[in-house]
Structure 1
Amino acid sequence: MTLRYGLGLNHLTEAPNDYTAVVTDSTNINVTKIMERMIGKGSTVTKAEGLSVIEEFEYAVVEEVKNGNIVSTDLFRISPSISGVFEDENDSFDPSRHSINLNISPGPRLQEIISKIELKKVALSSAEPVIEKFVDLKTKVENESFTPGQIASIKGSLLKFNEEDNNQGVFFIAVDGTETRVTEFVKNKPSELMFFVPDGLTIGNFQLEVRNTPHKLKTIKKGRLSVELVPAN
């Protein structure tokens, strides 16, 4: 398999002929799929045993992060940070002004394979929604995290959708494939969507997808952000 990408007009710069890469056709792989790959290469671990170990591993990671620790593995590194402005040295954390963020970066094993990922350039459908940037409007963080219950923005092209059609809109997709559709919108324009992030998205990694039916077409088209998002706190 290869990482497939196309080029779309970059609406975030003033240059009229700038293009940006858009990753397309990537498959969402969950823990069950990972376990099936492990078993398929001859592992003596059963699927049930493997899933149990992964659950215990994830629990331990969550507990360490909850305790304010930095978690470093060969696959990833998770470190906490705090954003927001403090008025003076006597000021303290205030949830209305500050946010706890989790910074996630690839570990050495993933860093090693970045240069080995095969690329394939494909033509993007001109009618396909393109997500160029996601912004958490509370923390001002781009393409990293979101704050449940707060307003976020998606910028790009061909984003507008029919709010009365439940098959269209903005969807947060969890690693297990569970989809959560956004229901409260502030702006629904071709170049920008503004909405309230659903309250229940408090744990895990999520892919962000926009689905719509472009003008004169009858089939649903999808556009996906190229990076995964995590809850800010």
Structure 2
Amino acid sequence: MSLKYYLIPFPLAKDKKSFRAVPKHERSLGTEDLINRMLDRGTSVTKVDIKAVFELLNQVVTQELLHGNRIQTPLFSAQLRIEGTFNEPAELFDSNKHKIHVSLTASPALERQIKEIRPQRCKNTGQHALIQMCTNLCRNLIHQAQPGDILEIKGQYFYLMPKILLKVSTSKTRQAIPSWIKSSPSNLPPF
């Protein structure tokens, strides 16, 4: 198997001539796509049965994680973790200082298969992050912002620039956005 990738400039690196690799994703597969791929393999299991198993698996994994259990599957292991510092042994969880996150780690079997991948460089097809809506939450404006405003940015292909969002001014100078409040697949966090 090969993983196609291309290089894009990495303007925040100390060496301004640096590039970073971006995997070329042909498409994102959802549950329905995976079910159809399973059915294409000629299984005798029905689509309804597969959907039921997916739904049950999602419910059970979620419930067990919320009970504090670690999940280990042939693909991944998952567990909850608490981020933040406790200043004394008697200190309790404070949602202003501490956050609960999910840790997902590839299983040893999946890691072995990943090591077999042969990266293959390809051309950048020109697909870039696409901003569809920029809402100024401070001033209730669309596509207008000033320094210090909180923006909500919605669009597609944000995975092409993960963890780094640049503001480019009219003078073409680049500035890193300092922080994100929330992130979801189609939603860049406000900054």
Matched, 1:170 2:148: no
Q: Deviations over 1:13-49 (max 9, x none)?
A: 2112221101234310011111111111111001111
- Higher helix share goes to which structure? 2
Contact 1:6 / 1:123 at 8 angstroms: preserved in 2?
yes
Matched, 1:107 2:91: no
Higher relative contact order structure (alpha carbons within 8 Å, sequence separation ≥ 6): 1
Structure 1 CA distance for aligned equivalents of residues 36 and 128 of structure 2? 32
Larger Rg: 2
Q: CA RMSD in A?
A: 3.1
Letter in 1 for 2:14: E
Displacement of 1:124: 2.4
Letter in 2 for 1:189: K
TM-score with structure 2 setting the length: 0.69
2:167 corresponds, among 189, 213, 233, to: 189
State the SS of the aligned residue for 2:93.
coil
CA distance change for structure 1 residues 29 and 118 in 2, over 3 Å: closer, same or farther? Answer: farther
Matched, 1:79 2:79: yes
Contact 2:4 / 2:119 at 8 angstroms: preserved in 1?
yes
- Unpaired runs of 5+ residues, structure 2, are 135-141, 144-152, 158-164, 169-173
Contact 1:4 / 1:26 at 8 angstroms: preserved in 2?
no
Letter in 1 for 2:61: V
- Unpaired runs of 5+ residues, structure 1, are 131-158, 174-186, 199-205, 211-233
Displacement of 1:129: 3.8
Q: Deviations over 1:172-192 (max 9, x none)?
A: 89xxxxxxxxxxxxx971354
Contact 2:133 / 2:154 at 8 angstroms: preserved in 1?
no
CA distance change for structure 1 residues 91 and 13 in 2, over 3 Å: closer, same or farther? Answer: same
State the SS of the aligned residue for 1:189.
strand
State the SS of the aligned residue for 1:3.
strand
